[in-house]
Amino acid sequence: MTDYLKNLMTNGRAMYLAYDHGFEHGPEDFLGKSINPEYILDIAVQAGFNAVILQKGLAEKYYTGTKYQKQIPLIMKINGKANIWKGGDLYPRQNCSVGYAKKLGASAVGYTIFLGSAHDTKMFQDFGRIVEEAHQLKIAAIAWVYPRGEFVKDDTSPEMMAYAARIGLELGADMVKIKYSGSTESFRKAVEAAGKTKVVLSGGPRLEEAEFLKAVKSVLAAGGSGVAVGRNVWQHPKPLEMAKKIKEAVFA
């Protein structure tokens, strides 16, 4: 089995700095200087993240061909949705080809699947094709798997997290990014369900520092590989210090 993640992990562990919030939520998430992609890229480099997660536009204008490309790998997020429409169409279509992501220097592509939505088989289909294209180009395919829709009562229940992790494995993801299931024990079930697919925590909204670090440690204790974190770092008053603490937790 080719290790498509070799460029994206250190000793089997990883921390990624996520910065696709301008797409998913709009600039309202950006406190202080965090609206500036270079500010974020500097944090990512200085704090020693394993990769930065960007949409195509940010990559093309701030990463590709800049100093950052030599300093840190890129995970290109290739679908997304804005948070304005609330009418039920939960299908964030692909907005960047795998070939273009590779051309812009990405070591992996990321794609969100809303497991349980009316459109989930479309996302299974898209991601299946993306896996094939990514592997033919020798880059990794990472699935963000979030249970969602009217039939999902609790989108972080242990059962849902295990299902989300397993769907990533079944569809050929090299890594799956899921939410915290609430306990080490339940997250361990998800990691187990994912098998050889690596599991990283999806950081989510800003939490109390201690609470977030506890979740990270729980994930690692459960056999998870690390964390993709955004707001909990760059909304923190001291991002580099927070990143250092996360790093210690991930690589402990």
Report, as residue numbers or ranges, the catalytic residues.
146, 177
Nearer to a second copy, 186 or 242 (CB): 186
CB of 194 to a second copy, least distance (A): 9
Alpha-carbon separation of residue 48 from 14, 17, 117, 207, 235 (angstroms)? 10, 10, 36, 22, 18
CB of 165 to a second copy, least distance (A): 8
Cβ burial, residue 152 (10 Å; 0-12/13-18/19+): middle
Residues 142-181 that bind a second copy (CB under 8 A): 147, 149-152, 159, 162-163, 166-173
Within residues 172-231, the interface with a second copy by CB under 8 A covers 172-173, 189, 192-193, 195-197
For residues 46 and 66, which CB has a smaller minimum distance to a second copy in the complex? 66
Least distance from a second copy to the Cβ atom of residue 178, Å: 13
Question: What's the burial of 223, exposed, middle or buried (CB within 10 Å: 0-12/13-18/19+)?
Answer: middle
Closest CB to a second copy among residues 11, 121 = 121
Tell me the pairing of strands 198-202 and 74-77: unpaired
In sequence order, what are the beta bridge partners of 53? 18, 75
Site string (85-124) toward a second copy, x via CB under 8 A? xxx-x-xxxxxxx--x--------------xxxx-xxx-x
6 binds a second copy (CB under 8 A): no
Using CB under 8 A, which of 6, 11, 28, 211 touches a second copy?
28
Residue pair 246/44 in contact by the 8 Å Cβ criterion: no
Q: How far apart are CA 52 and CA 76, in angstroms?
A: 8
